[in-house]
Structure 1
Amino acid sequence: MTTQDGGRPLLTTETGAPVADNQNSETAGRGGPLLVQDQQLFEKLARFNRERIPERIVHARGAGAYGTFTVTADVTTYTRAAFLSEIGKQTEVFVRFSTVAGSLGSADAVRDPRGFAIKFYTEEGNYDLIGNNTPIFFIKDPSKFPDFIHTQKRDPHTGSQEPDNVWDFWGLSPESTHQVTWLFGDRGIPASYRHMNGYSSHTYQWNNPAGEVFWVKYHFKTDQGIRNLDPAEAEILAGKDPDSHQRDLREAIERGEYPSWTVQVQIMPAADAATYRFNPFDLTKVWPHEDYPPIEIGRLELNRNPRNIFAEVEQSAFSPAHFVPGIGPSPDKMLQGRLFAYGDAHRYRVGINADQLPVNRPHATEARTYGRDGVLYDGRHSGSKNYEPNSFDGPVQTDRPLWAATGVSGLTGNHTAPAHAQDDDFVQAGDLYRLMPQEEKERLINNLAIALAGVSADRDDIVERAIDHFRRADSDFGSRLEAGVKERRR
């Protein structure tokens, strides 16, 4: 029997047995102690204790939605990726937005970069594009990433985020000056996920059917317009509605106000890279638009909310190593580190079969592998062989790489990234500052001064080192910041 007389389905245990009473635990007499034989109770408690997987170390706080990507320009000159093969072609996507430093229960309206991760469910497999709402990042080498994140998280001794740690690291890592300037500017606190841009930040490879190679950067320009929160407004909103960004995204889609972004790419012929004035694979640098103007290629729209946040947002797993034919990695050292780290994080958090969960598995094709077993394995391969090569008609390789080979030379070793003509850690931070209107400069100085004033009173060296970096970016920047900090540290 599966239904009651009233037609409602029967409640069952995890294994399908009907539940007689879901309101009262079984006891030894009325008012007596519980009985171990009440397996419905213990099944519920045991499941409840295990309902949460480990939260992400970074990007823990997030929201997501499904939608479509539509090609609006012919890019077949540059890439053989099938989902980009013709104007008007549409591909299903899932996008996850997130803050970086906060934990799962943190507020949305805070000063922090925002993750902007996109899963394209293409007919050649899933393509994951991992980005942020900033075109740059704090560091350029993955060996520094764990240390950087440690400074942004709670100190293991005090249990709080410590300004000393944050500014000590940034001051000793001058390449962070550009990103810190961006973060403490107006766009450091977006009004919502719908009102911010997204960027690949990293450089990627495109290759066309003829084997020609191009380096690309992606830009997602919000069609809703840029909107930001001032710090006082954000502080109130974070306290009143910690879920403000998640709520805004969900309710906009429910109203039929589907958020969208115009998708652009900057394209650099491979031959330009060696002599370009900036290292094109340095994550702390942008390619100025006058050098490589952004070209519109598509439109991203979000039009469907997830039905279960845990299954579809928390268990969603993105990895920059998920490429499709015609797209591949670049020599960007941070990207190279993330090719391993992201997938490994998901194998730890969700399990070895994370990519076969509904939100992660291919939607427009089928995954055919020789991987078997492990947590969450559902037996999908039935009796097929789990080794290759085999003579049982199992899947075989294509003999065509997804991306073109990259030339290398020299000796192995712990090398710094190659320096180009204008590669220092401050020039682009200075350019960004000088682009700002006077009122925006004042807000930037004020935001930075308040943050630096939080450094311990006996650690003026940390403050002075940080100010010196901004002074090297622009003398006016540094002088005004120095005065602002002194005023607040009297």
Structure 2
Amino acid sequence: MSKRVLTTESGAPVADNQNSASAGLGGPLLLQDQHLLEKLARFNRERIPERVVHARGSGAYGYFEVTDDVTGFTHADFLSTVGKRTETFIRFSTVADSLGGADAVRDPRGFALKFYTEEGNYDLVGNNTPVFFIKDPIKFPDFIHSQKRDPFTGKQEPDNVWDFWAHAPEATHQVTWLMGDRGIPASYRHMNGYGSHTYQWTNAAGEAFFVKYHFKTNQGVRSLSAEQGAELAGKDANSHQTDLLQAIERGVNPSWTLYVQVMPAAEAADYRFNPFDLTKVWPHSDYPLQRVGRLVLDRNPDNVFAEVEQAAFSPNNFVPGIGASPDKMLQGRLFAYADAQRYRVGINHTLLPVNAPKAVVGGAVNYGRDGAMATRNGGRAEKNYEPNSYQGPSQTDAAHAAPYALTGWTGTHAAPAHVKDDDFFQAGELYRLMSDDEKSRLIANIAGGLSQVSRDDVIEKNLAHFHAADTDYGKRVEEAVRALRED
């Protein structure tokens, strides 16, 4: 086999990659050494801005296979036939820490899934929890600032974390999830995934349904205690990345079963609480889980930077038969996620192989032009405006999902408020479902953080939330915090 020749960026052969060109032995370097200058300049530019949230992540390719008929709810083509398979890419992540953070920490996990469907890419961007801390996107930047490193101390501060939660009673439900036994997954393979938001499905007859996605791990849910997490993070900061990589390399392909909860759209306005509130779940007794298919991961990326770091997801990437709901947090993310990727990776990030749709030969067909790294840019055979008289691509006039006016949704939640439509009831329900041992660990985790807060008023506000969720819950947290502060 012939020897492969090292070249410069322009394709010229490199004469010497071990020594810089200099003016004589030991003399100063020469500015004419194009290879040296190019190599150093490129090295300075190897990184792109890391994600503000979900910076630390791992990814894998796989497929989604339909196992049950859901055509009564959606006309999405990739869900149209039992047995149909669609290629997928998934990115798991921690939320709060930076790219260099540890995997085995107490934090929600991102569960972002890209379906390369025959009708374009469908991105489902969720977490490993069915709820979130807030219900309005205007609070998201403040929430993340409170959880990230403090600008003065340069580290996460319990004062900031708990102060925000003290002023966000709607966070009580998610805090109970986070501080409970599932707060530190043993691996990415051993946790569930959720769409978290409410989405809209539309069937071929134009009937609309609101749905929630539940990916149940087929490996079984396994989690770490706070002590186990700290020990593992110290031994191997990349523990979850290592586990996922090695499992797939061994042929132990992780899988999840997808279920959905389905609410006929006409029932949304009169449901007993706002069904689009991201801080609440729909009880399974109201809307049981219905099986859809299975997700299998069977291939590792060849290059983590190119395929995992540059992977770009947007919940606004829908396909016919699937659309958004009035969920305020989802509506905010429809803009924010895509905009983040335009900033991080560039306006042409969808041309990268991991992001490019596979539905159309040669990539997406539209009138977007120019920008950095443009490779598909029209020219002699294509116009850059629409409509035109040259058989350019044109609209289908077929909406992906039903307009809200046709779903019966008026823009307001009409059901009367009652005791179960507040920020605390579902957090209390979750607490009451726990065993005595689970409750004890939850209390210890909350008290461990809350007891470090320096302001008494912030502690009292948070204690009031737990008291409102459940009398025993609040009493035990209060006693545990007091005991730790007296030590």
Q: TM-score, normalised by structure 1?
A: 0.96
Q: What do residues 147-203 of structure 1 show as CA deviations (whole Å, max 9, x unaligned)?
A: 000001111122111111110100110000000000000000000000000000000
Q: Distance in 1 between matches of 2:34 and 2:247?
A: 43
| Conserved 8 A contact 2:127-2:194 | yes
| Conserved 8 A contact 2:269-2:415 | no
Q: Which runs of 5+ in 1 are unaligned?
A: 1-5
| Conserved 8 A contact 2:269-2:413 | no
The letter for the 1-side match of 2:366 is: T
Matches within 5 A, 1:441-456: 441-456=439-454
Q: Distance in 2 between matches of 1:278 and 1:354?
A: 39
Partner of 1:433: 431
Offset of 1:86 from its aligned partner? 0.5
Offset of 1:236 from its aligned partner? 1.1
Candidates 78, 83, 89, aligned match of 2:78: 83
Q: Distance in 2 between matches of 1:324 and 1:150?
A: 33
Q: Distance in 2 between matches of 1:418 and 1:106?
A: 44
Q: Does 1:265 align with 2:260?
A: yes
Q: Distance in 1 between matches of 2:98 and 2:379?
A: 40
Partner of 2:485: 489
Offset of 1:266 from its aligned partner? 0.3
Cα–Cα, structure 1 residues 419 and 34, in superposed 2: closer, same or farther, change >3 Å? farther
| Conserved 8 A contact 1:124-1:325 | yes
Q: Which runs of 5+ in 2 are unaligned?
A: none
Q: What do residues 279-328 of structure 1 show as CA deviations (whole Å, max 9, x unaligned)?
A: 10000000000110011100000000000001100000000000000000
| Conserved 8 A contact 2:131-2:196 | yes
Candidates 372, 376, 393, aligned match of 1:375: 372
Query: Which region of structure 1 is more displaced relative to structure 2, 304-313 or 379-388?
Result: 379-388
| Conserved 8 A contact 2:272-2:415 | no
Matches within 5 A, 1:351-366: 351-365=346-360, 366=363
Superposed CA RMSD:
1.4
Partner of 2:457: 461
Q: Does 1:236 align with 2:231?
A: yes
SS in structure 2 opposite 1:129? strand
Partner of 2:119: 124
| Conserved 8 A contact 1:275-1:420 | no
Partner of 1:3: none
Matches within 5 A, 1:93-242: 93-242=88-237
| Conserved 8 A contact 1:276-1:420 | no
Say how many residue pairs are matched. 479
Q: Does 1:278 align with 2:276?
A: no
SS in structure 2 opposite 1:217? strand
Among all aligned residue pairs of Structure 1 and Structure 2, give the percentage whose two residues are the same amino acid: 69
Offset of 1:382 from its aligned partner? 4.1
Candidates 323, 334, 339, aligned match of 2:334: 339
Candidates 3, 6, 26, aligned match of 1:11: 6
| Conserved 8 A contact 2:404-2:410 | no
SS in structure 2 opposite 1:76? coil
Query: Which region of structure 1 is more displaced relative to structure 2, 202-211 or 419-428?
Result: 419-428
Offset of 1:364 from its aligned partner? 3.2
| Conserved 8 A contact 1:125-1:364 | yes
Cα–Cα, structure 1 residues 290 and 416, in superposed 2: closer, same or farther, change >3 Å? closer
Q: TM-score, normalised by structure 2?
A: 0.97
Candidates 224, 241, 247, aligned match of 1:246: 241
Q: What do residues 445-479 of structure 1 show as CA deviations (whole Å, max 9, x unaligned)?
A: 001010111112xx111111101100100000000
| Conserved 8 A contact 1:279-1:419 | no
Q: Distance in 2 between matches of 1:57 and 1:354?
A: 17
Partner of 2:472: 476
The letter for the 1-side match of 2:383 is: K
The letter for the 2-side match of 1:467 is: L
| Conserved 8 A contact 1:125-1:324 | yes
SS in structure 2 opposite 1:392? coil
Partner of 1:423: 421
Q: Distance in 2 between matches of 1:274 and 1:195?
A: 36
The letter for the 2-side match of 1:428 is: Q
SS in structure 2 opposite 1:274? coil
The letter for the 1-side match of 2:465 is: H
Offset of 1:409 from its aligned partner? 5.3
SS in structure 1 opposite 2:182? helix
Q: Distance in 1 between matches of 2:132 and 2:155?
A: 23
Cα–Cα, structure 1 residues 227 and 181, in superposed 2: closer, same or farther, change >3 Å? same
| Conserved 8 A contact 1:100-1:115 | yes
Offset of 1:379 from its aligned partner? 3.5
Matches within 5 A, 1:53-92: 53-92=48-87
| Conserved 8 A contact 2:50-2:99 | yes
Cα–Cα, structure 1 residues 480 and 174, in superposed 2: closer, same or farther, change >3 Å? same
